[in-house]
Structure 1
Amino acid sequence: MLNHFNRTALTAVGAAGLLLLTACGGVGGNDDAGKGDDGEVASLTTPAADGGSASASADPDAGRPQIRLDSTNEEVNRMYEAWQSCLKDHGAQEKYKRKPNDPAVLACRGKEPLNPPELDPAKNPDYSDDVREMVKCMKGHGIKALVHEGNWALETGDELNRPHYEEYELDCQVKAFGGDK
């Protein structure tokens, strides 16, 4: 099963078995303003009570590029390519064997794209209803989709090759997950 973000980010198409789980997203800005000469993102610090320093922002995701529901695959790819480039520039060797405390991962954390919150079941109380709406919309476009383990999926990877697939997927995602509620 292949997550849509991985598919678009790596520009690879595949399916495991007969199902291809997908979820789409959009893109936000990724501004390099505020970078120092060493390529690191500048951050504000404040003195901590113990004499050390504490980060000015408690949110570890602050400043990361935000994928939107209506982002195109090209926009998502650009965001992931910037993150992958940062990882490579910081010495990451194998993209599939990175650990969360890897120095390259830590150095590039601010460039790792965030998926749309609407596509996170923990953040979207209507997620289950939205998944069913997504499947209904895709079927309306002739795409063989189904609900599988709480997510929407394609019956086969061949569905990705249907004419206008990406256009339909983006349209359905915006309607299902970002619709009038």
Structure 2
Amino acid sequence: MGNLFKRATVFTSAGAAGLVVLTACGGGGVGGSDDAGQGGRGDVASITTPAAGGGAASASADPDAGRPQIRLDSTNEEVNRLYDAWLACLKEHGAAEKYKRKPNDPSVLACKGKEPLDPPELDPARNPDFSDDTRAMVKCMNEHGIKSVVADGLWALEDGNSLNAPHYDDIELDCQVKAYGDR
């Protein structure tokens, strides 16, 4: 296998400073009345934020509520825009260095609501089929001539030169959607 160039199945990486923050809002409009009469089919759980002065948030509320959610089919450009917004917030709040922030740093705390969340399908703790999906990802990438392997439970490229393959980003996105999203 030689020199493994690991590439996790998630969009984020230390070198990708400036990924996009998506709001992942559907066309349902405010209030969720568009799905009325559908018997709950296709409904997506959401958290409503009380209006100003409308009461305190619950202590058991999801700490990730309101954060931008990267979708499985988000393009690199979309992801970069999300991360650009988060990094701009960090800079605005005095973050010193990009890669040496502590979780309790004031800039990190101030911008927590803008930090993008990775797609849940790419989280081994939330996706019970993650191992099978990872093998499907490697198979798809290899079928497109991008030599990939499973390493440490994640898919990885055999070498970094594959990143320069023609249409690499399109192939990676197509394989990711096919491998992790086909249910």
Give the shorter-chain TM-score range. 0.7 to 0.9
1:28 aligns with 2:22: yes
**What's the counterpart of residue 144 of structure 1?**
147
Q: Among 23, 41, 55, which residue is 2:57 paired with?
A: 55
- 1:28 deviates by 2.9
Aligned twin of 2:115 = 112
SS at 2:16 equivalent: helix
Residue of structure 2 equivalent to 1:10: 17
Deviation of 1:29 after TM superposition, in Å, equals 1.3
1:68 to 63, 66, 71: 71
CA distance in 2, matches of 1:145, 1:10: 24
Length-normalised TM-score, structure 2: 0.74
**What's the offset of the Cα at 1:10?**
2.2
Q: Relative contact order (alpha carbons < 8 A, sep ≥ 6): 1 or 2 greater?
A: 2
Distance 1:134 1:44 in 2: 48
Report matched runs for 1:124-135 at 5 Å.
124-135=127-138
Q: 1:44 to 1:137 in 2, by over 3 A?
A: farther
Identity of aligned residues (%): 65
**Change in CA separation of 1:124 and 1:83 when aligned onto 2, cut-off 3 Å:** same
TM-score, normalisation: structure 1:
0.75
Consecutive unaligned residues of structure 1, counting only runs of 5 or more, are 12-24, 32-41, 47-53
Describe the SS at the equivalent of 1:153. Answer: strand
Judged with a 3 Å threshold, the aligned counterparts in structure 2 of structure 1 residues 102 and 92 are, in CA distance, closer, same or farther, namely same
- Secondary structure (helix, strand or coil) at the match of 2:103 reads coil
Q: Tell me the number of residue pairs that the alignment of Structure 1 and Structure 2 aligns.
A: 150
Given that 1:27 and 1:67 are in contact with CA atoms closer than 8 Å, whether structure 2 keeps it comes out as yes
SS in 2 for 1:65: coil
The AA in structure 1 aligned to 2:83 is Y
Is this contact kept in 2: 1:8–1:73, CA < 8 A? no
Q: 1:8 to 1:168 in 2, by over 3 A?
A: farther
SS of corresponding position for 2:149: strand
**Does the 8 Å contact 1:45/1:55 carry over to 2?**
no
Distance (whole Å) between structure 1 residues aligned to residue 141 and residue 95 of structure 2: 38
| Inter-CA distance 60–44: structure 2 relative to 1 (3 Å threshold) | farther
Asked if the contact 2:89/2:111 (under 8 Å) is kept, the reply is yes
Q: Structure 2 CA distance, aligned partners of 1:116 and 1:43? A: 30
CA distance in 2, matches of 1:60, 1:45: 19
